[in-house]
Amino acid sequence: MGDPAGEQAAPAPPPDDVAAGRGTTGLLDELGQLARAVRKLFGAQMHLLAAELGLARSAVSWLLLAGLAATVSGVGLGLTLLGLIGVSLAKWFGSWIWALLALALLQVLFLLGAILLFRRCMHWMSLPATRGEWHAMMREAWRRADREVEAGQAHEGEGEA
């Protein structure tokens, strides 16, 4: 086998160097662990974000479907109620023609009311205070967008330098 006298033993490093080496290695190990933990945390956050976006995408589809179903049901209910009112008016007037004319008059009044409400809402939107707030909000959005564009260009300029 090997001759113990023939082999030279490596000199033992001084105790200060051993402690310093362990400290550096320990620090590097801890930094590596920290980096792995941060990577794992952000990986989990990205996985969670992807799952939430998938749910949101699915929810939008279901919301659109539910909105369509509610619209169809509302129209059906409205037609049913108009039919019931028409039958009731026909019995009351004793004539289908008078009943349908009364029903048409009710619908015209309802339509005029909806138009007047719409016009009133448009008037509120055009009041000077509302216009001023709208213009201030648009100016602020424009300034914020300009600042973001300038910051993005400055950041791109730093990356090129």
Backbone angles phi, psi at 13, to 5 degrees: -70, 155
Confidence at 34, pLDDT banded by 50, 70, 90: confident
Q: What is the mean pLDDT of residues 65-69?
A: 94
Return the percentage of the chain with pLDDT > 70, whole number. Answer: 82
Which pLDDT score is estimated for 161? 54
Give, in degrees to the nearest 5, the angle at Cα 28 between 27 and 33. 95
Residues 79-115 have pLDDT tens digits of: 999 999 999 999 999 999 999 999 999 999 999 999 9
How buried is residue 67: exposed, middle or buried, by Cβ count under 10 Å (0-12/13-18/19+)? Answer: exposed
Which pLDDT score is estimated for 13? 53
Q: What is the DSSP string of 118-152?
A: HHHHHHHHTSHHHHHHHHHHHHHHHHHHHHHHHHH
Least confident of 12-21, 32-41, 58-67, 92-101: 12-21
Cβ proximity of 86 and 103 under 8 Å: yes
65 has pLDDT over 50: yes
Confidence at 17, pLDDT banded by 50, 70, 90: very low
Which pLDDT score is estimated for 131? 75
> Mean pLDDT for the chain?
81
Which pLDDT score is estimated for 18? 46
Return the percentage of the chain with pLDDT > 90, whole number. Answer: 35
Q: Which amino acid is at 37?
A: A
3 has pLDDT over 60: no
Which pLDDT score is estimated for 107? 92
What's the rounded Cα separation, in Å, for the pair 114 and 106?
A: 12
Which pLDDT score is estimated for 8? 56
